[in-house]
Amino acid sequence: MGQYGITQGAGVVEHQARKKRGLAAIESPPEQHIRMKGIHMKLITALIGVSASAAIALAGGSTTVVDFEDGLTHGWEGPQGFGGATMIDNTYGVGGGAGFRTQFNDFGIAFTNSTNANFTGDYTQFDEVTISVDLRIDQIGFEGLGITRPFMLELRSHDLGDDGYPWASAFFLFDWVGADSFTGYQTFSATIDTSASDLPVGWGGYGSFDPNTFESILPDGVNFSDILANVDEIAFSTLLPDFFFTNDDYDMTIDNVTITTIPVPGALAVLSIGGLVGTRRRR
């Protein structure tokens, strides 16, 4: 129940989302990214005690943060066109810094990234992947009317969807946001155990439909692991599959988009040996 008495999900009709989402089809070739060398270097750096980053040293992993303070989007895109625009706002980010802000009228909005290899590629090369984002909402719906919309993380693979689908994806609903979110930034985070072959609790699949219930599901023969191995686009989106939303004004800003990857245990062990050798050589 929102502060204006609007119930969660007002204006929502099921099973029409695919039509809308179909319009948003973006052709983008999948890319495989080999990042082990970079991780190797960072890990060894951490093990020999040179690293200044506590996060890297503790986790043995790699962290990428896009905070927009350099005026660059680092591959992040938002809605552009007739309904409005998305741009870096130099004072709307966390702490009055820069943030990536969209002001747009549509059935929903999505921030996407298909070109930054730190966010896309083969997630299964890691043991664990954590993705987080700070979100500020200034408006959803008419001014002053606090309606809620879903805010989800979506991992897309454009080659794996059935015919008629722009992509196959695994999506995680962070929360329904909007009704009482006008007080500043909230942080949303999801940690992915990349050893899971089936969709974990809290995750949904998209790219085909159940012939009985017509609900979105992963395509036949595609499991969670297949999506993780072929992430060619990552999105933070309000367009939750199987829901239809009214056309509304959105004013949303994201900041501190972060991905942390933890190497698989085997790789960690091997790299640890490398790190120890490196330590001896330094003495």
Residues 32-91 close enough to bind Ca ion by CB under 5 A: 67-68
Q: What is the enclosing helix (H) or strand (E) of 54? A: helix 54-59
For Ca ion, which stretch binds (CB under 5 A), given 42-50, 176-184, 250-258, 266-274? 250-258
**In the block, which residue shows the tokens 């974990």?**
200
Q: Does 133 bind Ca ion (CB under 5 A)?
A: no
Shortest separation between residue 57's beta carbon and Ca ion, angstroms = 24
**212 is written with which tokens?**
């009985």
Q: What residues pair up with 271 in beta bridges, in sequence order?
A: none
Q: Does 255 bind Ca ion (CB under 5 A)?
A: yes
Shortest separation between residue 104's beta carbon and Ca ion, angstroms = 20
State the residue number with the nearest CB to Ca ion: 93
The Cα–Cα gap between 220 and 242 comes to 18
Nearer to Ca ion, 100 or 107 (CB): 100
Binding residues for Ca ion, total number by CB under 5 A? 6
Nearer to Ca ion, 233 or 255 (CB): 255
**54 is written with which tokens?**
């506590």
Report the first-to-last Cα separation within the chain, whole angstroms.
63
Nearer to Ca ion, 97 or 278 (CB): 97
Shortest separation between residue 86's beta carbon and Ca ion, angstroms = 15
Identify the sign of the CA torsion 141, 146, 149, 153. Answer: positive
Nearer to Ca ion, 133 or 160 (CB): 133
Nearer to Ca ion, 136 or 149 (CB): 136
Per-residue exposure over 253-270, b if at least 16 CB sit within 10 Å of its own CB, e if not: bbbbbbbbbbbeeebbee
Shortest separation between residue 75's beta carbon and Ca ion, angstroms = 16
Q: What is the enclosing helix (H) or strand (E) of 205? A: strand 203-206
Using CB under 5 A as the criterion, what x/- string covers residues 85-124 for binding Ca ion?
--------x---xx--------------------------
The Cα–Cα gap between 222 and 72 comes to 35
Write out the residues near Ca ion by the rule CB under 5 A: 67-68, 93, 97-98, 255
